[in-house]
Each structure stands twice: as structure tokens, then as C-alpha cells.
Amino acid sequence: MPQWISVRGPQSASAPVLLFLHGGPGGAEYGPRRKYLRSLEQDWLVVDWDQRGAGRSFRGDETASTLSLDRLVDDANELVGWLCRETGREKVTVVGHSFGTVLGVLLAQRAPERLAAYVGTAQVVNWALQEERSYDWTLAEARRRGHSKAVAALETLGRPAQGAYAVGVSGVEVQRRWLGTFGGVSADPRFLMRWALSILTCGSYPLRAKLRFTKGMARSMELIWPELGRRIDFARDVPRLDVPVFVFAGRTDHITDLAQIEGWFAALQAPAKRLEIVDQAGHLNLFEAPERFRAFLESTRQ
């Protein structure tokens, strides 16, 4: 299945390769990455990849047999191997955001010899538990604010089971809408809209891909989301990674909540590890605090 990548940065053979694994599933982040973190291209050979079923890689004929979590991990592994061959580097630094951290951790388990470091931002730990806590926080915040419309919508939706809502992925849209309104996605709710607009206003992204963006994300979520709640529990299944691990977290993140991240990170065994928490940032932390993230990323090279 043809997939789209962008490679931007210095031509120097000494420039390290940085592979960005976007969130979602299906939420290609080329626009936000270039808007808020373009400066990374000064020192890193930055690789943006629209995962199969996402962004410019969306075809419209994806099925459960061609788009799954295991297939995406296979793709990531193949892409890292290709990057090493094409660039002459032995290793690649991988940055995962949100759902991309699922791919990043599973990739680090499978091919540690190819990774210089794994960097997680908005790190997923237990998918089902994070969705339950996110729903609980949103409903509690709606009640605290006396927001009757939000309370009614969330109570009608109901709490997720195994990370999934009874109505399917449309339930995620309802919950995230109110979560973003109450500042649980980005510390400044207005930033969330600016972040979303950066996808639509990206000049080097074709109009056709922009128009099909949400359709691709909906299809990816439909096919992949249910298995994430059943399978992903890194506190249980990933006690060790044989690569340096760096995690960048936002204190106001109420999707991948900080308590889970801190618990997993404290117990994790790795050759080197570091956790940095940004007080005034949420789930979009690397975009909310781009200069701080850039400095954090530079520290992984030392």
C-alpha cells in the first residue's frame, strides 16, 4: 500500500534522523509539526509519515485486513529499516505523539537495535483506563461548572467500557469536544482550534488530502480503536525497553493523564530515561511549548 513521507532537514551526513509518529489513530500531524516545530529541521533530518489510512496515505478502501495495529507497527519497522539504508545511519530517533506513542513503544520492543532513543509525548500507558479517567474528569468538570448541556450529553453517552463507547467512535468525538472546551486537551482551549486549523492551512498539503482528512481519521479509528482498549497496557506488558526513553508530558493533559505516565515511567527499566513535565501544557504539549520541546529533544543526543 503506497504511503507518503516527507524528509526535511540538513544534508549533512552527521545530522541525526528523527521519525515522527503522529497521533490518532489516523490523525496525520504534518501541518502542526511544520507550523510549530519547523525549527527542528535546522539540526535534524525530520521524517513525517502519514500512516496507512491517514492524511495523504488514505485510499478509502482500507479494511480490517489491511489496516490494524500490528500492520502499523510492521510499517513503522519497515520504514525505520528503509531510513537507515537510505541515509546511511545505523539508528533513528523516534518521537511518538499520543497514539503514536503506542507505535513507538511497540517498535522499541521489536527493533531496539535501530533506535537511538524513543521519545514519547502525551504517552499512552493503559488505553482503556485513560479513556475512563478522561470521561470521568470531563463529566466532573461539567458538573462543577454547572454546564447542563455538557452534563446531559456526557450522561447520555455513558462511560466507556474497555476504552470504547457504546455508540462507537462517534462517542469519542462527543467526549473530546467537551474535554477540549474545558481545557483538558490543551491548557488554553483556544490553542486547540489554532492547532486544528494548522492542518487545513498547511500550504504544502494538497486540497484533496485536506478534504478527506476527517474521513481517513474516522476510518482508522473505526478499525483500530476497539483493539487498543483490549490490548494496550504498558504498565502490565512493558516493564523494560532496551533503548533510552524520554517522556515529555503536560500537567493539564486529561487524555493521557500524568498519574499513569509517572507510574509506568518510575517502574520502567531502560538504559537511560528522563521525564519532563510542562505545567502549562496538555495533550498537545510539544506544540504548546515548542521551544521547550526542542531543548528537551536536544538533550536526548547527549
* H or E element that contains 21: strand 17-21
pLDDT for 179-196, tens place per residue?
999 999 999 999 999 999
Q: Tell me: the pLDDT tens digits for 254-276?
A: 999 999 999 999 999 999 999 99
> What pLDDT score does 198 carry?
94
**Residue 1's pLDDT is what?**
86
92: exposed, middle or buried (Cβ count in 10 Å: 0-12, 13-18, 19+): buried
Give the residue from 246, 256, 248, 265 showing the smallest Cα distance to 283. Answer: 256
- Whether 35 shows a pLDDT value over 80: the answer reads yes
Q: Which residues contact 266 (CB under 8 A, 6 or more apart)?
A: none
Q: Give this prediction's pTM.
A: 0.96
Count of C-beta atoms within a 10 Å radius of residue 189: 15
Average pLDDT in the 219-237 region? Answer: 96
* pLDDT one-digit tens code per residue, 157-183: 999 999 999 999 999 999 999 999 999
